Amino acid sequence: MKGSHVAITGVEKYFGDFHALKSVSVDIKKGEFYSLLGPSGCGKTTLLRIIAGFEDPSSGAVLLDGQNVVPVPANKRPVNTVFQSYALFPHLTVFENVAFPLRLRKMENAAVKTKVQEFLELVKLPKEGKKLPAQLSGGQRQRVAIARALINEPSVLLLDEPLSALDAKLRQHMLIELDAIHDKIGITFIYVTHDQQEALSVSDRVAVMNEGEVVQVGTPFEIYESPSDPFVAHFIGETNYIGGTVTEVIGDKHAKVDFPDIGSLFVYQDKPLAVGDKVKVTIRPEKIRISSDKPSALGDQMNLLEGGVDELIYSGFQSKFFVRVSERATFRVFRQHVKFFMDEKAINWKDRVFIWWNDNDGYVVEVEKP
């Protein structure tokens, strides 16, 4: 594997009095596709700039394959960056843009030609070499920027929201291509985004950041299914987030919890719990079933509630329902339109409905001991 192992240990960054990064430590494996995900202003670009060498940390270290590179200037690090704006030279052809880093190294012409062609092929622009950046689409321009960033064969590629200037469909497409490029060249990718769909769809692992801190690191599956922090539960996807008190611990994986205004529900838990603990639970809207008919023969530990449809949003592939189960409690529920003909009764605004879900689909995020 050509990629580097990247270890960031205890990095702090102050801009004057402002504490932009708070003891950030992450460990990125050789060849990993690793994403930094978080809302605007949480410190993603700052962390990336510290890895690239455009910014010094106030304290802490950045280790590439075990060597601290903090004293090493940016242009001497085996790291390259693709930015949000394409930053191509407008007066140079696509070929010369990609060739630029090789020209700086005074590589001889014939070798430049072969190498640039190889990288234009990698980003699927084999015939566009003679064009100027202005003659390309946004997606094509960003591919030129990627080819230019890769041509010196860095061991780490940093990508700072490289697709955010593109429309949603093209972004999807470019993401798949980026993933293919990553698979092909096998170096370490560190990908910054505030778009959770983007991060979940391509990353090996994701670090979720909030206000200068890394709050959870995990695979996309772990981040989505078992958030370890209330911020992560809310930031990734939509959810129902409710608080209650444990009334019974069932085996080592389940509990019964009393929720004010809702009643008693079965939940999944992987933390040491005791009766009387206050817990916060997340239940994803797509895990909840909804019907105007009462379901028959539900298992022992299924949760069933009855309510009225307060609001309903149709969006083609699915409908989103806001189901009021009491004066003060509302659940959001998604129903996928999987069949061409509706095999279930249509549900309308103000209808009485039943909602139900499995005990395993309510996940305990936070525990507070009394």
Ligand X SMILES: Nc1ncnc2c1ncn2[C@@H]1O[C@H](COP(=O)(O)OP(=O)(O)OP(=O)(O)O)[C@@H](O)[C@H]1O
Task: Name the site residues for ligand X (rule: CB under 6 A).
Answer: 15, 18, 20, 38, 40-46, 194
Residues that bind Mg ion (CB under 5 A): 45
C-beta closer to Mg ion: residue 44 or 143: 44
Distance CA 146, CA 137 (A): 14
* Partner interacting with residue 42 (select from ligand X, Mg ion, none; CB below 5-8 Å by kind): ligand X
- Closest separation in Å from C-beta 176 to ligand X: 23
Enumerate long-range contacts of 164-172, CB under 8 Å, 24 or more apart: 164/84, 164/193, 164/195, 165/84, 165/85, 165/86, 165/138, 166/138, 166/139, 166/142, 170/137, 170/138, 170/139, 171/198
C-beta closer to Mg ion: residue 157 or 364: 157
C-beta closer to ligand X: residue 43 or 227: 43
- Closest separation in Å from C-beta 237 to Mg ion: 22
C-beta closer to ligand X: residue 43 or 139: 43
Distance CA 47, CA 283 (A): 32
- Closest separation in Å from C-beta 161 to ligand X: 7
Pairing of strands 240-250, 278-283: antiparallel
Pair 199, 35: CB distance under 8 Å: yes
Of 162, 368, 168, give the one whose Cα is nearest residue 274: 368
- Closest separation in Å from C-beta 166 to Mg ion: 16
Residue 113, CB-side half-sphere exposure with 13 Å CA sphere? 3
* Partner interacting with residue 336 (select from ligand X, Mg ion, none; CB below 5-8 Å by kind): none
* Partner interacting with residue 20 (select from Mg ion, ligand X, none; CB below 5-8 Å by kind): ligand X
* Partner interacting with residue 40 (select from Mg ion, ligand X, none; CB below 5-8 Å by kind): ligand X
Distance CA 195, CA 212 (A): 17
- Closest separation in Å from C-beta 224 to ligand X: 20
Amino acid at 317: F
Q: Which class for 365: exposed (0-12), middle (13-18), buried (19 or more C-beta within 10 A)?
A: buried
Classify each residue of 194-217 as buried b or exposed e, where b means 16 or more C-beta atoms within 10 Å of its C-beta.
bbbebbbebbebbbbbbebbbbbb
- Closest separation in Å from C-beta 334 to ligand X: 27
* Partner interacting with residue 18 (select from ligand X, Mg ion, none; CB below 5-8 Å by kind): ligand X
Distance CA 303, CA 286 (A): 15
Q: Which class for 7: exposed (0-12), middle (13-18), buried (19 or more C-beta within 10 A)?
A: middle
C-beta closer to Mg ion: residue 45 or 81: 45
Torsion of CA 323, 327, 329, 330, to 10 degrees: 20
- Closest separation in Å from C-beta 49 to Mg ion: 9
- The whole-angstrom distance between residue 240's C-alpha and the CA centroid of its chain comes to 19
- Closest separation in Å from C-beta 54 to ligand X: 10
Q: Residues 6 or more apart from 272 whose CB is under 8 A from it?
A: none
What is the three-class DSSP state of 268? Answer: strand
- Closest separation in Å from C-beta 91 to ligand X: 28
C-beta closer to Mg ion: residue 39 or 186: 39
Look-up of token digits 């139900």: 356
* Partner interacting with residue 260 (select from Mg ion, ligand X, none; CB below 5-8 Å by kind): none
C-beta closer to ligand X: residue 20 or 28: 20
C-beta closer to Mg ion: residue 45 or 142: 45
C-beta closer to ligand X: residue 20 or 147: 20
